[in-house]
Amino acid sequence: MSSAGATWVGIFVGGASRRMGGRPKGLLMAPDGHSSLVARAVRIVREGLLVPVFVGGAPWLDARAWGVDVIDDDPPGIGPLGGLHALLGATDATHAIALACDMPYVTTDLLRRLADHPSGAAIVAPRANPTEPWEAMFGRYHCATVRPVAEQLIARGVDSIQALFREVSTDDLPMAAHERALLRDWDSPGDVRGAKP
């Protein structure tokens, strides 16, 4: 895999899409009507001068069509924590970014701001307020710090990616309300039908 110290963005594609009736979310047409969600994600990552990699098993995905490497979850079957654990162990860069493939409004500028945020915290991610969960699928992770913690959680049978945020230092990525709206994801057919940029 290509690395050379560049920050990898793991595009998480392994979800079962049960609420979409099993239809792969990554193949849904993006709101611009010009590309699939997964193609759009690859494009904005590259526009931000970051390295896209696909995370998770996705039989529908022809990664070669985009020239993107694939990282299998480790371990498989436990959700995003397994994918993040694999991503953080596969790169020699200081940080890696997790990006859900079903976030059709994230922009290159927003992604670049996450990559460049001046923080020494182990995780940088946004959240709406202190009582809400962190947005783990739009987060920057310090590989050497977070991976061993993820490994310990997995060994204890914990599969919640939110558990990481309680174990390491975390910094809130400041975002205006209109920017937070760009983190909306598509979980159900209703999200797609009501889609607006």
pLDDT confidence of 161, banded at 50, 70, 90? very high
The number of folded domains in the chain is 1
Average pLDDT on 166-191 reads 85
Residue 26 located in a structural domain: yes
More confident residue, 66 or 18: 66
User: What pLDDT is recorded for position 171?
Assistant: 96
More confident residue, 48 or 26: 48
User: What pLDDT is recorded for position 192?
Assistant: 55
Residue 197 located in a structural domain: no
Residue 2 located in a structural domain: no
pLDDT at 57 over 60: yes
Q: Left if phi > 0, otherwise alpha if psi is -120 to 50, otherwise beta: which for 52?
A: beta
User: What pLDDT is recorded for position 16?
Assistant: 53
* Domain of residue 85, CATH code: 3.90.550.10
Residue 195 located in a structural domain: no
pLDDT mean across residues, the chain: 88
**Sheet of 8-12, strand order:** 69-71, 51-55, 8-12, 95-100, 138-142, 123-125, 170-172
Write out the residue range of the structural domain in which residue 147 sits: 8-189
User: What pLDDT is recorded for position 88?
Assistant: 98
User: What pLDDT is recorded for position 196?
Assistant: 52
Percentages (nearest 5) of helix, strand, coil residues in the chain: 35, 15, 50
pLDDT at 2 over 70: no
Among 1-10, 21-30, 84-93, the range with the most confident prediction by mean pLDDT is: 84-93
Residue 184 located in a structural domain: yes
User: Residue 55 gets which letter from DSSP?
Assistant: E
pLDDT confidence of 113, banded at 50, 70, 90? very high
pLDDT at 21 over 80: no
The tokens for 130 are 């202190």
Contact 182, 106 (CB under 8 A): yes
pLDDT confidence of 17, banded at 50, 70, 90? low
pLDDT at 135 over 90: yes
